């Protein structure tokens, strides 16, 4: 009798499908949440990259026309007065790193090629106290590099290249503008 009841109960359990959807949902939920975070992260990356490029172009134009030299701005003042106001409110100015340097003319190893490696521009140390701020004078060739430490949404281990900056997990986004300064009379080169 016990064996017959146990066998019947086991057969009913094998045919039951009421909880299958809940179990499948519970198994796939972490995967769906991971995809949502990745979609949000990619969207945030393109958003921040677009605005960083825009702000870099505006800031480079201020150097090129001599406005930065006329105001006698330091590197920190350049970031807070010129670059950061061009960024949207969601991008923290404290996560911006700038590297502005004069590049000698020529391609004999001392010019633009001195800034390049086989993979592109040499990335400076991600610390504003270790970067340069040299805007040059009239007619100088200048490379304006800006980097933004974009916060990581979700799990940092999911993203290659994630690192720590200001005690948070971030991915660095960069933008570069190469300019030739227009003739201007201000003498402050920042060097």
Is residue 13 a part of any domain in this protein?
Answer: no
Q: 135 is written with which tokens?
A: 């805007």
On whether residue 3 sits in a domain, the answer given is no
pLDDT tens figures, 56-73: 999 999 999 999 988 988
In a domain, 31, yes or no: yes
Note whether residue 6 is domain-resident. Answer: no
**pTM to 2 decimal places:** 0.77
Place of tokens 């660095």: 172
Edge-to-edge strand order for the sheet containing 163-165?
96-103, 141-151, 168-180, 163-165
In the chain, how many domains are there?
Answer: 1
**Domain assignment present for 10:** no
Pair 173, 148: CB distance under 8 Å: yes
Which of 89, 115, 96 lies closest to 52 in space, CA to CA?
96
Question: Which residues span the domain enclosing 78?
Answer: 19-180
pLDDT in tens, the chain (191 residues): 778 888 887 777 777 777 777 788 889 999 999 889 889 988 999 999 999 999 999 999 999 999 998 898 889 999 999 999 999 988 999 999 999 988 876 655 555 665 655 444 556 677 777 788 989 888 888 999 999 999 888 777 777 778 888 888 888 999 999 898 988 876 666 67
CA–CA gap between residue 119 and residue 85 (Å, rounded): 31
The answer to whether position 163 is within a domain reads yes
């Amino acid at each position: 009798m016990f064996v017959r009841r146990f066998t019947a109960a086991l057969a009913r359990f094998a045919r039951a499908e009421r909880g299958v959807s809940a179990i499948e949902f519970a198994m796939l939920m972490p995967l769906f949440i991971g995809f949502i975070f990745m979609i949000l992260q990619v969207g945030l990356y393109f958003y921040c990259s677009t605005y960083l490029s825009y702000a870099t172009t505006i800031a480079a134009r201020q150097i090129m026309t001599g406005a930065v030299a006329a105001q006698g701005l330091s590197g920190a003042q350049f970031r807070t007065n010129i670059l950061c106001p061009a960024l949207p409110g969601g991008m923290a100015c404290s996560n911006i790193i700038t590297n502005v340097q004069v590049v000698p003319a020529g391609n004999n190893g001392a010019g633009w090629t001195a800034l390049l490696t086989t993979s592109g521009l040499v990335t400076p140390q991600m610390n504003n106290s270790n970067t340069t701020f040299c805007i040059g004078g009239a007619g100088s060739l200048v490379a304006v590099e800006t980097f933004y430490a974009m916060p990581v949404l979700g799990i940092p281990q999911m993203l290659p290249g994630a690192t720590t900056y200001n005690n948070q997990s971030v991915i660095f986004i960069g933008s570069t503008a190469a300019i030739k300064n227009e003739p201007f009379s201000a003498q402050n080169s920042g060097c």
